[in-house]
Amino acid sequence: MTIRVLLLTTDSKICGTERMILSLLRCLDRGRYTPCLVTLKGPGELVEEATRLGVDAVNLKMDEGLRRGWPRWRKTLYEFQPQVMHAFLHHANLLARFTRLLCRDVRVIAGLRTVYTAAGYGRLYGWLERLTHPLDTFFVVNSEAGWRSLTENMGLPDRKLVLIHNGLELFDEEPDPAQVRHAVRSEFGFFDRHLVVGIVAQLRPPKRHDLLLQAAMDLKERFPNLRLLVIGEGEMEAALKDQAKRGGLEDEVIFTGYRGDARRLLRGMDLFALPSEVEGEPVSILEAMAAGLPVVAARAGGIPEVVTHGGTGLLHEPGSREGLRNALTELLASPEKRHEMGAAGRKRIELYFTADIMARRFQELYEKCVMPE
């Protein structure tokens, strides 16, 4: 008999958390676990991707109103009869906990994937977490920084917290990596002489794309062949494009918008940057390291647990324009360092951050949930 696991997340758009969910679904032992995926709102491709994997999936469309979404949720619970509800992100956590009040036999695994300060959680969110977390069987974090944040700022007990790092599926090398690199660079008008710095992140204030643009302005004269490839969409798009224009970077920066093939586009870059001030354990950094790219990133959240300073990349203080500029300068000026750090990063992913490791840890947690008390 299999264990029925309902995976519950907020959005249907595929970003970092959703890519981890898909990796988990692909690596899950279907002989032992029967998964079902539920998203609270859409639109997005997550439900369709899960369905292609042979997983029952439904979008509750709660953004259209509770009166329409709640009957879908009740119908899903009745038909699937979950033994474990595995929730990702705040709103999914709350729905899973509320449901446990109605279905006492169901076990809840909640989770949070971003590391906030006490103020960053917000008064309402903090109050709701403190009020409802006793309904969890376990609470998963993806970084040690996240663990510390939840115990110090939210009062969650250590006994319920479980650390499970994000994990990537490692695909075989393309038959001709050089051809893929050439194709990606040609799509955006990059030539061999160009030094391409890439970022994959939603265009939101905490990601600090503005800081990366400022650093590019500082480096433009020393590195005239510098180019920025900005992959993602979000509320800051117009402001960032305006900043690039005012900074004389119109010809140096390309905004791609959302790309479902972001992992492939990494092959056209020379290094990866993520100056975020608020992070958990960024999937984009894991993907960049798996692609053999050195990383320049802020010491935020769980990033230092993934990127080893001087080994797989360079770290700078969050919000530091000078720190980001200096780190970029060091790697842009040295193809040898870029190659060495990129190779070391790929090896680190292979050893510690694979989807198989992540799936095995979650499966162990599912087993604990259904053990007789």
Beta-strand pair 107-112/3-9: unpaired
User: What is the spatial distance between Cα 166 and Cα 168, in angstroms, rounded to a whole number?
Assistant: 7
Give me the domains of the chain, ranges plus CATH numbers: 3-168+354-370 (3.40.50.2000), 177-352 (3.40.50.2000)
Question: How many Cβ atoms from other residues are within 10 Å of residue 241's Cβ?
Answer: 17
Nearest to 141 by CA among 168, 167, 114: 114
Per-residue pLDDT of the chain (373 residues; tens, 9 = 90+): 899 999 999 999 998 999 999 999 999 999 999 999 999 998 889 999 999 999 999 999 999 998 989 999 999 999 999 999 999 999 999 999 999 999 999 999 999 888 766 566 677 877 888 899 999 999 999 999 999 988 888 888 899 999 999 999 987 666 688 999 999 999 999 999 999 999 999 999 999 999 999 999 999 999 999 999 999 999 999 999 999 999 999 999 999 999 999 999 999 999 999 999 999 999 999 999 999 999 999 999 999 999 999 999 999 999 999 999 999 999 999 999 999 999 999 999 999 999 999 999 999 999 999 997 6
What pLDDT is stored for residue 1 in this prediction? 85
> Residue 3: what residue type?
I
What pLDDT is stored for residue 50 in this prediction? 97
User: What is the spatial distance between Cα 159 and Cα 299, in angstroms, rounded to a whole number?
Assistant: 27
> pTM, whole model, 2 decimals?
0.93
Q: Judge contact between 38 and 6, C-beta under 8 A.
A: yes
User: What is the spatial distance between Cα 200 and Cα 262, in angstroms, rounded to a whole number?
Assistant: 7
User: What is the spatial distance between Cα 107 and Cα 85, in angstroms, rounded to a whole number?
Assistant: 6
